Amino acid sequence: MNFSLFDSITEKEKGAAIDDLISDSSPNAPFFFLVILSTIMATLGIIAENVSVVIGSMLIAPILSPILSVSLGTVMSDSKLMKWSLVTILKSTLFALGSAAVATLFFSKGFNVSESNTEIASRIQPEIIYLMIAIVAGAATAYARVKSELN
């Protein structure tokens, strides 16, 4: 069976996608600045119980690149890339936790943040449908990264 959709990806496009992914996964100051900004925005969206703001914060979060780099390292059996990407994810998590804690301390005053916050409840009780959504989104992202005209 021949899938022309995937046969149309050239070796040059594959190489460029890999280079771009590794570059986008680099743990540099702009990367962590975007992690902090997206985390603060998500925190504000959760406090305000505004799903649109939470989704908007996901659009500026750069964390997908190191996650894809872990997958790339796994597929290519590149333990150095996997370790480098996992360390980036760990550092990003620490930056996100710290900035979320600070944002919560500063911005939750004056808001009625209760245990019945629907945004928090929806994030701590995921369903299998969200796993399926993540798989589809990951496949779309991987394909769009390789096909630069779609990116």
116-147 tens-digit pLDDT = 666 666 666 777 887 787 778 777 777 777 76
pLDDT, one tens digit per residue, over 11-28 is 887 788 788 888 888 888
List of residues 6+ apart from 7 with CB closer than 8 A: none
Band (pLDDT 50/70/90 cuts) for residue 41 is: very high
The token duo for 78 is 């590149």
From the number of C-beta atoms within 10 Å of its C-beta (0-12, 13-18, 19+), residue 145 rates as buried
Is the pLDDT at 151 greater than 80? The verdict is: no
For residue 139, what pLDDT is reported?
Answer: 77
Which run of H or E residues covers position 45?
Answer: helix 29-47
